[in-house]
A and B are shown apart, each in its own frame.
Chain A
Amino acid sequence: MRKIINKPEAMVDEMLEGILAAHSDQLACAQDDLRCIITSRPKPGKVALATGGGSGHLPLFLGYVGDGLLDGCSVGSVFQSPGADQMFAVTKAIDQGAGVLYIFGNYGGDVMNFDMAAEMADMEGIRVEQVIGTDDVASGVRGQEAKRRGVAGIFFVYKVAGACAAAGGSLEEVKAVAEKANRQARTMGVALSPCTIPEAGRPTFEIAEGGMEIGMGIHGEPGIRKGELREADAIVDEMLDPILEDLPFQGGDEVAVLVNGLGSTPREELYVMYRRVHDVLAARKIGVYHVYAGEFATSMEMAGASISLLKLDDELKNYLSQPASTPFFSQPQLGK
Chain B
Amino acid sequence: MARITAEELRAIFAALSEIMEENKQYLVALDSAVGDGDLGLTMSQGFRSAAEFVDSMDETDVGIILARAGMTIASKAPSTMGTLMGTGFMKGGRAVQGRDFLGLDELTGFLEAFLEGIMERGRCRPGEKTVVDALQPALEALKAAGGQGLPLTEALDRAYEAAAAGLEKTKDMVAQHGRPAYYGEGSRGKEDPGAAVGVFLIKGLRQGLSA
Contacts and interface: CB of A to CB of B under 8 A. Distances in A.
Interface string A65-97: 000000000000000110111101000000000
Q: Size band of the A side of the interface?
A: 10 to 19
Contact of A116 (B76, B78, B86): B86
Contacts of B64: 123-124
Central interface residue in A84, A88, A109, by most chain B CB within 10 Å: A84
For the complex, would chain A's binding face be called helix, strand, loop or mixed by DSSP majority?
Answer: helix
Interface string A168-197: 000000000000000000000000000000
A109 B82 CA distance: 12
A84 B75 CA distance: 6
B76 A83 contact: yes
Interface in B59-82: 63-64, 67-68, 70-72, 74-76, 78
A86 B75 contact: yes
B89 to A, nearest CB: 10
Contacts of B83: 112
A83 B74 CA distance: 7
B125 interface: no
A113 interface: yes
Grouping DSSP codes into helix (H, G, I), strand (E, B) and loop, the B interface class, with mixed when no group exceeds half, is helix
Contacts of A165: none
Given A84-B86, A116-B86, A123 B71 contact: no
Residue in A81, A85, A109, A119 with the greatest tally of chain B CB atoms within 10 Å = A85
Given A84-B86, A112-B83, A120 B76 contact: no
A117 B71 contact: yes
Contacts, number: 43
A85 B90 CA distance: 12
Nearest to A76: B78
A253 B52 CA distance: 56
Contact of B90 (A80, A120, A124): A120
A120 B97 contact: no
Contacts of A109: 78
Contact of A84 (B63, B74, B93, B97): B74
B74 A120 contact: no
Interface in A112-134: 112-113, 116-117, 119-120, 123-124
Nearest to A83: B75
A112 B86 CA distance: 11
B92 to A, nearest CB: 12
A85 B97 contact: no
A112 B68 CA distance: 15
B170 interface: no
A85 B67 contact: no
Contacts of B86: 84, 116
Contacts of B63: 123
17 contacts: A81-B78, A83-B71, A83-B74, A83-B75, A83-B78, A86-B75, A88-B71, A116-B74, A116-B90, A119-B67, A119-B90, A120-B68, A120-B90, A123-B63, A123-B64, A123-B93, A124-B64
Closest 10 CB pairs of A and B: A83-B75, A85-B75, A84-B71, A85-B71, A84-B75, A84-B74, A120-B71, A116-B71, A85-B72, A123-B97
